[in-house]
Amino acid sequence: MSLTAMYLFAGYSKSSNEDINMNFSEAGEIESAARLFDIAKQFHKEYSFEGVELPGIFEYEVVEEFGEFIASSNLYSNDHPNSYYVKLMIVFTNSWLFRNNAMPPLDTKSI
């Protein structure tokens, strides 16, 4: 989980600046890092890794890219709760897994 937070911040810090930090955390870079840590922690609680084996490249191909996406898009608002970013991160993750043929088989019996 700490590795996820680290890569999330690495991506975020590529495109962040004072204004982005103020909008994202209502403070500076340290507070933005703390908020990203909370988002990473919540992501690990909510995302079901069952049946999914994430390769080591996941952290820098998905997590770091998502951190940069937050800072470089109009999504860096303090108006959005952390759960908003967690849901987007889950979509990013599933999309990446699907593109790389790494999704677990669907349980079609339950559909």
Q: Does residue 102 carry a pLDDT above 80?
A: no
How many CB atoms lie under 10 A from the CB of residue 106?
8
Q: Tell me the average pLDDT across 17-44.
A: 92
Residue type, 85: Y
CA 106, 110, 111: angle at the middle one, nearest 5?
A: 80
DSSP string over 35-81: HHHHHHHHHHHHS--TT----TTHIIIIIHHHHHHHHHSTT--TTS-
Q: How confident is the model at residue 77 (pLDDT cuts 50, 70, 90)?
A: confident
pTM (2 decimals)?
0.84
Distance CA 31, CA 37 (A): 10
Percent of the chain with pLDDT strictly greater than 90? 42
How many CB atoms lie under 10 A from the CB of residue 15?
15
Q: Does residue 82 carry a pLDDT above 70?
A: yes
Instruction: Enter the tokens of residue 17.
Output: 């600046």
Q: Does residue 103 carry a pLDDT above 80?
A: no
Query: Crossing angle of helices 2-15/29-46, nearest 10°?
Result: 130
Least trusted range by pLDDT, from 33-37, 40-44, 69-73, 74-78: 74-78
Q: How confident is the model at residue 104 (pLDDT cuts 50, 70, 90)?
A: low
Radius of gyration of the chain (CA): 15
